[in-house]
Amino acid sequence: MKIAVLGGDGYCGWATALYLSARGHQVAIVDNFVRRQWDHELGAQTLTPIAPLSDRLKVWQRITGHEIENYVGDVCDYDFFAAMVQSFEPEAIVHFAEQRSAPYSMIDRKHAVATQVNNVVGTLNVLFAIKEFAPECHLVKLGTMGEYGTPNIDIEEGYITVEHNGRKDTLPFPKQPGSFYHLSKVHDSHNMMFACKIWGIRATDLNQGVVYGTITDETAMDEALINRFDYDEVFGTVLNRFCAEAAIGHPLTVYGKGGQTRGFLDIRDTVRCIEIACNNPAGRGECRVYNQFTEQFSVLELAHLVAAAGKKMGLEVKVDNLPDPRVEAEQHYYNAKHSKLIDLGLKPHPLSESLLDSLMNIAIKYRDRVDQGLIAPTVNWRSAANPARGRVSVSEPELKGTPERAALVSSND
Amino acid sequence: MKIAVLGGDGYCGWATALYLSARGHQVAIVDNFVRRQWDHELGAQTLTPIAPLSDRLKVWQRITGHEIENYVGDVCDYDFFAAMVQSFEPEAIVHFAEQRSAPYSMIDRKHAVATQVNNVVGTLNVLFAIKEFAPECHLVKLGTMGEYGTPNIDIEEGYITVEHNGRKDTLPFPKQPGSFYHLSKVHDSHNMMFACKIWGIRATDLNQGVVYGTITDETAMDEALINRFDYDEVFGTVLNRFCAEAAIGHPLTVYGKGGQTRGFLDIRDTVRCIEIACNNPAGRGECRVYNQFTEQFSVLELAHLVAAAGKKMGLEVKVDNLPDPRVEAEQHYYNAKHSKLIDLGLKPHPLSESLLDSLMNIAIKYRDRVDQGLIAPTVNWRSAANPARGRVSVSEPELKGTPERAALVSSND
């Protein structure tokens, strides 16, 4: 199958592109490397030294004989993106090309606006390009379990049947996202459902949990294929960050009581879920939603698992309960369904000691690259502006919004 | 009370600003006149000849002695908007400053993107400015009944209590909006709920129905105070458009079967609802939702009411059932609650023959200004690009999205 992986230079995107390529799919990566630029903005670097994409792709071809095409550009640039769709003619588009950090979106107004505009406009462009140039193409879009928030009822997969005043309907599951980033994914989901309805687009919205791990069979083939491993407070997700902290002797940074419960999955399951979604396309006009995670944990449970694994390796691991920089329930009911991908053949990799060992060993191997000053949380949800160490300011906003909008207001300049 | 009316030069905004000023509130209008520019883009003009805002305000002051301050600028320009908040120090901000036409948002990709970016970024700016510079200020934001779509259950006011698998929670009412414009309001609603939660902002989200009428006590005081009356297919809403059609001998343009049922209200109730919301501010952190309409009608019912009123005036009124340019149910269940504003004191003006007569008389008075070529629907929801008569093309999108976003990707140029 011809599959375009948008954001294919990123953490999930890179592992996915290689996995699909290894299975014989014809893969194109579409990326503008903005994720690498955000590292520079934040003064943070992935724990693992990742190679430039051009080098990665050369090594992949040398080792496996599989060529991955490379389209360098911005999904928000419709001329570029539409040309890619017409040139590559994808049967499936896997859309990872979004700003995906909640703390990044909460730094200040500019980062909130940038996140929502980037993600919403990018996804609108993908929908319009499919409608105009590839109407049979199946969109596999990465959402997030964070779209649902933490309701006091079971979370279904995208839709819920509601009985109310003697009548019944199946409706989109109500969304209570917890950051401007998570909100951007909710906006995307609504836009997608509508585009499927009016244009008959095929779409699968994968509400992914928190991904952990870094190694897949493919990224392990050569040092040049190594995947990102983010440990910093902005882009580092909780389990990877805890393992890095344990490895370098930093206390585990539990936010608040640590009762925050979320869905988690191994990156080896991420890549398999994407393939399953691609191999089972949605029907015309169908907007499917799958909850893409394998296990639920509370943050404190994860901290204890990491502490125990560290102890076994001779590490002394302390757990710090820091004031929660986020506004979220620290204790809550959480029960999210996640059977649809398993019904389609997913065989989960449950969280194991060996995975924790592996993550800690990676962190130990690259410990000289760690900047401990990047671990403590500095982005406070309660503040509208969070200036932080090493963070260069982005330039001033101008008057006009996007060029599309600017054209509509130009006579008021 | 000091009240800033964003979009105060528009249809609802102008009537609201005068109504609040007449009641002794200290009013400031914030507007960049982009609504007037869209008229030029579409080659359409309001049926009623509206005066420039500066003239309107001079006449208002001469007649009533009330001064309305005028801040000319774009809510999407944060420097401008934050300066306005710091200078005027509003106790309430009434936010009408959005692109509000569903067909306009469905013209093509550029108009969809422009609508969503304009509305989402504007509302984000309002939320951040309140948080940073006026934390006690009450945001009165115009949403739309169209956020809910047409579910097969009763529509509640913003939230619904759901029982599911033996547990219960009160959650945001699921949203199924029917255009990129309506989607932008759903995005706004989610952003607002979140900002109220994390920052303790006071907000009232008014999900307004379709407004009809043009005259209020205040706009009737002088010809220079006359309000807009849009009859064209893009900005003309259904009842006003039907009355204009009847007056000029054009068949009433019913889309499809006309079974589409919606909530409606007289513009005299719009202005009163806004005052009620301002006089009863939400608590800190509260995001209230009121459904702001007074009666439900199907489109075909309205056509028959207008035809009967026309007949009484000696007009022969034909009804045309055109193919529906929108993707929507033409027959459906519809029962939306709307008691909260009535509980706070709203005394509705139900739709009357005299109102219909008045609208038709206005249309007859200004019939020489009507361009009949602007009435037939040309924006088709099923098409991703709708080039239309008299519509100038907006300039090409460039590469970078908003300036905020551009700053983050600038090294990739």
Name the β-bridge partners of A381.
Answer: none
User: What residue ranges in A8-154 does DSSP mark as E strands?
Assistant: 26-31, 69-72, 92-95, 138-144
| Partner-chain contact A169 B151, CB within 8 Å | yes
**Mean pLDDT, residues A88-106 taken together:** 98
Confidence of residue A405 (pLDDT cuts 50, 70, 90): low
**Mean pLDDT, residues A317-336 taken together:** 97
Taking the CA of residue B361 and the nearest CA in chain A, the distance in Å comes to 33
Taking the CA of residue A124 and the nearest CA in chain B, the distance in Å comes to 7
Query: Who among B124, B152, B395 is closest to A113 (CB)?
Result: B124
Does residue B395 belong to the interface with chain A, where contact is any CB pair within 8 Å?
yes
Quick one: A65 exposed, middle or buried, by C-beta within 10 A (0-12, 13-18, 19+)?
exposed
| Partner-chain contact B172 A175, CB within 8 Å | yes
B216 is catalytic: no
Catalytic residue among B46, B115, B144, B150: B144
Answer whether residue B413 shows pLDDT above 80.
no
pLDDT tens, residue by residue, A222-263: 999 999 999 999 999 999 999 999 999 999 999 999 999 999
Report the alpha-carbon distance of residue A359 to residue A352 in Å, rounded.
11
| Partner-chain contact A382 B198, CB within 8 Å | yes
Task: Determine which of B42, B78, B109 to mutate to test the interface with A (most A C-beta atoms within 10 Å).
Answer: B109
Are the C-beta atoms of B143 and B206 separated by less than 8 Å? yes
Are the C-beta atoms of B60 and B29 separated by less than 8 Å? no
B144 is catalytic: yes
**Percent of the residues in chain A that have a pLDDT greater than 70, as a whole number:** 94
Closest-CA residue to B131 (of B165, B93, B183): B93
Q: Would you state the pLDDT for residue B150?
A: 98
Does residue A409 belong to the interface with chain B, where contact is any CB pair within 8 Å?
yes
Task: Determine which of B170, B180, B190, B405 to mutate to test the interface with A (most A C-beta atoms within 10 Å).
Answer: B405
Residue B363: Cβ within 10 Å count: 25
Which two structure tokens, joined as six digits, stand for B117? Answer: 């970016």
**What CA–CA distances, in Å, run from B243 to A49, A411, A412, B216, B283?**
68, 32, 33, 17, 41
Taking the CA of residue A49 and the nearest CA in chain B, the distance in Å comes to 21
Question: Rg (Cα) of chain B, in Å, rounded?
Answer: 21
* Per-position b or e across A198-221, b if 16+ CB within 10 A of its CB: bbebbbbbbbbbbbbbbbbebbeb
Answer whether residue B407 shows pLDDT above 90.
no
Helices (H), strands (E): how many in chain B?
13, 14
| Partner-chain contact B173 A174, CB within 8 Å | yes
A311 is catalytic: no
Report which secondary-structure segment, H or E, holds B365. Answer: helix B353-365
Confidence of residue A410 (pLDDT cuts 50, 70, 90): very low
Catalytic residue among A19, A104, A141, A185: A185
Sheet architecture: strand order including B261-266: B210-212, B261-266, B295-298
**Mean pLDDT, residues A384-409 taken together:** 54
Does residue B128 belong to the interface with chain A, where contact is any CB pair within 8 Å?
yes
pLDDT tens, residue by residue, B88-129: 999 999 999 999 999 999 999 999 999 999 999 999 999 999
| Partner-chain contact A327 B197, CB within 8 Å | yes
3-state helix, strand, coil in chain B (%, to 5): 40, 20, 40
Does residue A146 belong to the interface with chain B, where contact is any CB pair within 8 Å?
no
Contacting residues for B352 by C-beta, under 8 A, at least 6 apart: none
| Partner-chain contact B191 A180, CB within 8 Å | yes
| Partner-chain contact B384 A168, CB within 8 Å | no
Mean pLDDT, all residues of chain B: 94
Answer whether residue A393 shows pLDDT above 50.
no
Answer whether residue B400 shows pLDDT above 50.
no
Q: What is the pTM assigned to this prediction? A: 0.95
Are the C-beta atoms of A209 and A292 separated by less than 8 Å? yes
Name the β-bridge partners of A321.
Answer: A254
Report the alpha-carbon distance of residue B68 to residue B30 in Å, rounded.
10
Q: Would you state the pLDDT for residue A412?
A: 35
Answer whether residue A219 shows pLDDT above 60.
yes
Which two structure tokens, joined as six digits, stand for A387? Answer: 């200036």
Listed by number, the residues of chain A in 165-204 with a beta carbon closer than 8 Å to a beta carbon of chain B are 165, 167-169, 171-180, 183, 186-187, 190-191, 193-194, 197-199
pLDDT tens, residue by residue, B59-74: 999 999 999 999 999 9
Q: Which residues of A touch B83 (CB under 8 A)?
A: none
**Percent of the residues in chain B that have a pLDDT greater than 90, as a whole number:** 93
Q: Would you state the pLDDT for residue A411?
A: 37
| Partner-chain contact B404 A162, CB within 8 Å | no
Query: Who among B113, B177, B408 is closest to A190 (CB)?
Result: B177
Does residue A133 belong to the interface with chain B, where contact is any CB pair within 8 Å?
no
**Mean pLDDT, residues B385-391 taken together:** 71
**Mean pLDDT, residues A212-216 taken together:** 97
Q: Would you state the pLDDT for residue B387?
A: 86
Report the alpha-carbon distance of residue A129 to residue A199 in Å, rounded.
12
Confidence of residue A389 (pLDDT cuts 50, 70, 90): low
First to last CA, chain A: 49
Taking the CA of residue B216 and the nearest CA in chain A, the distance in Å comes to 29
pLDDT tens, residue by residue, B279-308: 999 999 999 999 999 999 999 999 999 999
Listed by number, the residues of chain A in 16-55 with a beta carbon closer than 8 Å to a beta carbon of chain B are 32-34, 37-38, 41
Listed by number, the residues of chain A in 346-375 with a beta carbon closer than 8 Å to a beta carbon of chain B are none
Report the alpha-carbon distance of residue A201 to residue A262 in Å, rounded.
30
Confidence of residue A387 (pLDDT cuts 50, 70, 90): confident
Q: Which residues of A touch B113 (CB under 8 A)?
A: 121, 124-125, 402, 404-405
| Partner-chain contact A125 B109, CB within 8 Å | yes
Are the C-beta atoms of B74 and B82 separated by less than 8 Å? no
Listed by number, the residues of chain B in 197-256 with a beta carbon closer than 8 Å to a beta carbon of chain A are 197-199
Query: Who among B132, B190, B408 is closest to A34 (CB)?
Result: B408
pLDDT tens, residue by residue, A369-382: 999 999 999 999 99
| Partner-chain contact A120 B124, CB within 8 Å | no
Q: Would you state the pLDDT for residue A395?
A: 44
Confidence of residue A402 (pLDDT cuts 50, 70, 90): low
